[in-house]
């Protein structure tokens, strides 16, 4: 009987240890639209294999939910767009570990897009027309156009005749493509990806303005993570372009490599966020 209880105790200790090694990796930005998801699953498996810790992928497209989950330790690490990262850093102390360096020498900025047949030549031409935002905290999908409106001396609350929240960059682009709205502001990475995959889209959707270049999306964590955990996670990503399996996953995500970003790379976003803060929950 004593031996039975000893084995039972050992079983529970091992089970508890195994559960303790379960981690959650959140993805909130999809640079290639829904096509990003299978590659993110592969990336999660790659990180699990390298760290010998099982990571479960979590997909949360709502930006405020994503940063809140990270702040509340519901997930351990998260891939965030630059806007939510800047907002999350200010509100929760979120820390960037690495940023992406996109393939094809792509920049990170907002593209103002309209149907190819549209008479609009500038963002200002969209005044009084319908517009698709992406998410309340999206930098390229909302903060940029709000900032542009304020710079024109207009009020963001009544600049457009009607607005919708598409909930993803892919859906915002599709709303323009389908003629459901007169325009939208979409992340450059996704637009360039779509144009590259299907060149005929250049005759269906056109870019009428591009914002300034800004800091790239990041993998982030919070203060709860230990220095050892952060260093190990960061090391895997910084070196994954050096092995064949890692490069294959990066190619699917159209990422050249990861790097350690300087905090100053996000100053532009901070400046613009400050200007439109009253409109950002």
pLDDT tens-digit series, residues 220-256: 999 888 999 999 999 999 999 999 999 999 999 999 9
What stretch of H or E contains 25?
Answer: strand 23-27
Can you give the pLDDT at residue 131?
98
Against a cut of 0.85, is the pTM above it? yes
60 has pLDDT over 80: yes
Can you give the pLDDT at residue 1?
43
Which residue is it, tokens 């979120």?
A: 94
| Total of domains in the chain | 2
| CA–centroid distance for 11 within its chain | 40
Cβ atoms of 138 and 111 within 8 Å: the answer is no
Q: Please indicate, yes or no, whether residues 144 and 60 belong to a single structural domain of this protein.
A: no
Distance (Å, whole) CA 174 – CA 205? 10
Mean pLDDT, range 191-217, rounded to an integer: 97
In a domain, 2, yes or no: no
18 has pLDDT over 60: no
Q: Please indicate, yes or no, whether residues 158 and 33 belong to a single structural domain of this protein.
A: no
Can you give the pLDDT at residue 151?
96
| CA–centroid distance for 262 within its chain | 18
Copy the structure tokens of residue 213.
């270049």
Cβ atoms of 185 and 83 within 8 Å: the answer is no
Can you give the pLDDT at residue 4?
36
Question: Of 276 and 7, which is predicted with more confidence?
Answer: 276
Can you give the pLDDT at residue 223?
80
Q: Please indicate, yes or no, whether residues 264 and 196 belong to a single structural domain of this protein.
A: no
Question: Residue 243 belongs to a domain with what CATH number?
Answer: 3.40.190.10
Which residue range forms the structural domain that includes residue 70?
A: 21-104+215-279
Among the candidates 210, 233, 255, a domain finishes at 210
Can you give the pLDDT at residue 270?
97
Q: Please indicate, yes or no, whether residues 62 and 116 belong to a single structural domain of this protein.
A: no
Q: Please indicate, yes or no, whether residues 88 and 137 belong to a single structural domain of this protein.
A: no
Summarised one tens digit per residue, pLDDT across range 83-119 is: 999 999 999 999 999 999 999 999 999 999 999 999 9
Q: Quick check: helix, strand or coil at residue 160?
A: coil
Can you give the pLDDT at residue 225?
87
Distance (Å, whole) CA 92 – CA 87? 8
Summarised one tens digit per residue, pLDDT across range 127-139 is: 999 999 999 999 9
In a domain, 16, yes or no: no
Copy the structure tokens of residue 70.
């990270």
Helix, strand, coil shares of the chain as percentages rounded to 5?
50, 20, 30
pLDDT classification of 21: cutoffs 50, 70, 90: low
In a domain, 81, yes or no: yes
Percent of the chain with pLDDT over 70: 93
Q: Please indicate, yes or no, whether residues 99 and 127 belong to a single structural domain of this protein.
A: no
DSSP code of 110? E
Distance (Å, whole) CA 278 – CA 280? 6
The dihedrals phi and psi of 183, each to the nearest 5 degrees, come to -170, 170
DSSP code of 182? S
């Amino acid at each position: 009987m004593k031996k039975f209880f000893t084995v039972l105790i050992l079983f529970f200790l091992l089970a508890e240890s195994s559960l303790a090694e379960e981690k959650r990796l959140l993805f909130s930005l999809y640079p290639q639209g829904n096509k990003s998801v299978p590659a993110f699953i592969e990336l999660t498996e790659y990180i699990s294999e390298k760290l010998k810790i099982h990571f479960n992928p979590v997909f949360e497209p709502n930006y405020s939910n994503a940063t809140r989950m990270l702040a509340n330790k519901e997930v351990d690490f998260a891939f965030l767009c630059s806007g939510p990262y800047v907002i999350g850093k200010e509100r929760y102390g979120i820390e960037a570990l690495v940023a992406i360096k996109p393939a094809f020498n792509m920049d990170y900025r907002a593209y103002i897009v309209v149907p190819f047949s549209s008479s609009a030549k500038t963002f200002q031409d969209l005044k009084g027309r319908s517009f698709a935002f992406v998410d309340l905290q999206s930098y390229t999908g909302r903060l940029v156009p709000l900032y542009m409106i304020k710079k024109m001396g207009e009020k963001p609350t009544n600049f457009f005749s009607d607005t919708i929240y598409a909930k993803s960059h892919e859906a915002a682009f599709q709303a323009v493509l389908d003629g459901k709205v007169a325009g939208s502001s979409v992340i450059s990475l996704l637009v360039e990806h779509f144009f590259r995959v299907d060149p005929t889209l250049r005759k269906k959707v056109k870019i009428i303005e591009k914002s300034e270049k800004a800091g790239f999306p990041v993998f982030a964590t919070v203060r709860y993570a230990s220095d050892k955990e952060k260093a190990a996670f960061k090391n895997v990503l910084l070196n994954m372009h050096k092995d064949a399996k890692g490069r294959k996953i990066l190619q699917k995500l159209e990422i050249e490599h990861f790097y350690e970003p300087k905090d100053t790379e996000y100053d532009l976003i901070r400046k613009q966020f400050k200007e439109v803060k009253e409109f950002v929950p």
